[in-house]
Structure 1
Amino acid sequence: MNRSTDTLKWILVVGARPNFMKIAPLIRAISAHNEKNGNRIQPFLVHTGQHYDVRMSDAFFRDLQLPEPDVHLGVGSGNHGEQTGKVLIEFEKILLQEQPDLVIVVGDVNSTLACSLAAAKLHIPVAHVEAGLRSFDRAMPEEINRIVTDAISDYLFTPSPDGDEHLLGEGIPKEKIFLVGDIMIDSLLFNLEQAKKTQILASLGLVDMPYALVTLHRPANVDDREIFGRILEGLSDVAKKIPVIFPMHPRTRKQVNTFGLDEAFLFHSALPIDSAEYGNNEGRIPKIHCFEPLGYLDFLQLMSHAKVVLTDSGGIQEETTVLNIPCITLRDSTERPITVTEGTNVLVHDDPQKIVAEVSKILEGRIRQGKCPAIWDGHTAERIVAVLC
């Protein structure tokens, strides 16, 4: 890194919803460092626009108190090649114009890969936050993004010891690897008290009511009608036991319509909801209750009070582990195995019987006791900034 000047320009990249929770703690940590050291670091925030829906992007900027991006590339949606290519082309222009000392990328989305590749080709150092995660399933687009980004990064910040082991096994030099903890947990712990002030539980009629919370968006699950159908079979059976609450990703909603699966859901277009709708009175068949996507604080409050969370999201596996909320992951592999070995997570993939069986255990009080992994303490961003400075 060029340390010859008094000020270091760091470009931080966000593109999709999971990135926002990982960048916000870094912005705070940089600000705190600058207060002590005379504004030595100049952060420059680039939003690629990979998630362009206001509910998936702008709402999270607001909830996480992120500053307005210095640049918004506005690449929008598209297939993997198209989206990655657009980001690569547009981000290279920013690099040539801004001449940063460092590019910081987070997670495993297409923007992560494209921006790290653009920087590496221009010989600009790259720091990858959340490095070393592996599902060992190369059918997952995110797995390819992780492997390539790690291979070309100069600083690899891992959330757990297995990340270090994976990187060393792939030939990454030890001096490039830094075990710093899970940056997602920085956002969770920082915002937990603020989330308690939201009215989402009252708005949904869920105060003092047990419920299951669902998130589902991965292409492997929602783009295959047979797999999606099996998951919905399991969720529909769960809905006979406990209200199932599903803030639905726009992409998932599109697939529901495409596959003609609307009958499994009751779509709510406005809040508040009459809690009587959650019952099975008058012989009605229970439905999965669907809502528009929620902001970060509303979702955090909803998740922290759930009886069980069913998800295919990697970040939610981590958050439920720290919150000690039972998590059922609708995948057959995870890049975060520590949530299974130490946390509250169990994998069921798309097996309806396993889905129902795991929920039944939880409702019967047979809940696995997890623990919070080491250094998932809310100070990951501070450790990262200390390494880079």
Structure 2
Amino acid sequence: MYKITIIAGARPNFMKIAPIIHEIDKAKQQGKDIDFRLVHTGQHYDKNMSGDFFEQLQIPEPHVNLECSGGTQAEQTANIMVAFEKDLMENPSDLVLVVGDVTSTMACALVAQKLHTKVAHVEGGIRSNDWTMPEEINRLVTDSITNYFFTTSETANDYLKKSGVQDHQIFFVGNTMIDTLMKQMPNFKKPLVWNELSLKPKGYIVMTLHRPANVDEENQLKSMIDEIMLNTQNTPIVFPVHPRTAKILDKLSINHNRLHTINPLSYLEFNYLVQNAKAVITDSGGITEEASIMNVPCMTLRNNTERPETMTLGTNELVGTNPKNMKTYLDKLFSGSWKQAQNIPLWDGKTSQRIVDTLIGFSQ
């Protein structure tokens, strides 16, 4: 039996591993010699990640929750490594599969290699080239000790090859987040806020902000929101507020009748809002991917992106962090001249099938 330990540490990781688990279950039913153990490091405590969350995405409850939330970057890395080392020693595995770029991704890859267990990285090779982002450090460290890379784009393949990774270690498979999105689209749920705010399709903009560069400096956050409100005509802005942003917003006297701050939504409710929005303003990487597949205009308030394919083939534009940049992009949106999404290679809902076929190949 080929045993795989799958690591998830934060909510987006579960969106990425859900379809992989479904494909492993399917392979088992077909008599293939493959099985998995799902380890939740507990890196992010999220009250929305209840039983309902796992049910919505049809993911089994994790076999274990290591409960390593809180602390500094270093403390959290150390706590995850200590807890996962014990777990992996008690439950040996042929391969540890890590996804994305959170602290758990790096910490569990380190533990696996030190215990002589092979590592596969889903979303290997992604780069923003911004070393101020903790995620970029996690990507660099993880990829430097990974055995097998499951990549989302040719750009990622190129980065890996330039860093010395051999062709036979790279598997260009696509994007598992899109597998989840495509599977769940028919299940999107209208959130309560839809009727409460009398929202209409293409009649509002969704905004999400959580990165330190945008929310930690109060004047920057206030200027950005003021600039957005100034250039969005009479369009309502729906802003599900990340906990770190909520604390800062509370201190600011931001008052706009059209700005509606709401609590974070479930995956199915949030994507219902995105799918029906006129546009999305965000600093999240994952949302740029989903907006591109749903052909919703997307403005990213960052100076770089690790997902260039969302710009070259998707609906995403890199606005930067200067609030004065907003007017140009919002004028373009309201003039009706925003670019349309094109097909992004292998973002077709079948990525997990390709990953599991490859894993089964490793076991033979």
Which contiguous aligned blocks of 4+ residues in structure 1 show a shift greater than 4 angstroms? 56-59, 196-200
Which of 305, 324, 343 aligns to 2:295? It is 324
Residue 18 of structure 1 deviates from its aligned partner by 1.2
**3-state DSSP class of the match of 1:264?**
coil
Stretch moving more, 41-50 or 377-386: 41-50
Which of 243, 251, 254 aligns to 1:250? It is 243
Residue 380 of structure 1 deviates from its aligned partner by 0.4
Which of 20, 24, 35 aligns to 1:30? It is 24
Which whole-Å deviations, capped at 9, do the CAs of 1:11-47 have from their partners, x for residues lacking one?
Answer: 1111112101101011111011111125x22211111
Q: Which residue of 1 aligns with 2:345?
A: 374
Q: Which residue of 2 aligns with 1:297?
A: 268
Kindly provide the amino acid, as one letter, of the partner of residue 2 in structure 2. L
Residue 88 of structure 1 deviates from its aligned partner by 1.1
Residue 223 of structure 1 deviates from its aligned partner by 2.1
TM-score (norm 2): 0.94
Residue 77 of structure 1 deviates from its aligned partner by 2.1
Change (3 A) 1:230 1:254: same
For residues 1-389 of structure 1, what are the structure 2 equivalents within 5 Å? 7-38=1-32, 40-55=33-48, 60-195=53-188, 201-208=194-201, 210-238=203-231, 240-257=233-250, 260-261=251-252, 263-264=253-254, 285-389=256-360
**d(CA) in 1 for partners of 2:167, 2:147:** 11
Change (3 A) 1:59 1:327: farther
**d(CA) in 1 for partners of 2:296, 2:342:** 11
Count how many residue pairs are aligned between Structure 1 and Structure 2: 360
Kindly provide the amino acid, as one letter, of the partner of residue 209 in structure 2. L
- Unaligned regions of 5+ residues in structure 2, if any? none
The percentage of counterpart residues that share the same residue type is 46
TM-score (norm 1): 0.88
CA RMSD of the aligned region, Å? Answer: 1.8
Kindly provide the amino acid, as one letter, of the partner of residue 296 in structure 1. Y
Stretch moving more, 149-158 or 248-257: 248-257
Q: Which residue of 2 aligns with 1:274?
A: none
**3-state DSSP class of the match of 2:30?**
helix
Contact 1:321 1:343 in 2 (8 A): yes
**d(CA) in 2 for partners of 1:101, 1:238:** 54
**d(CA) in 2 for partners of 1:198, 1:289:** 14
Which whole-Å deviations, capped at 9, do the CAs of 1:127-156 have from their partners, x for residues lacking one?
Answer: 100111111111111011111111111110
Contact 2:152 2:174 in 1 (8 A): yes
Residue 201 of structure 1 deviates from its aligned partner by 2.9
Kindly provide the amino acid, as one letter, of the partner of residue 20 in structure 1. F
Kindly provide the amino acid, as one letter, of the partner of residue 379 in structure 1. K
Residue 355 of structure 1 deviates from its aligned partner by 1.6
**d(CA) in 1 for partners of 2:97, 2:144:** 15
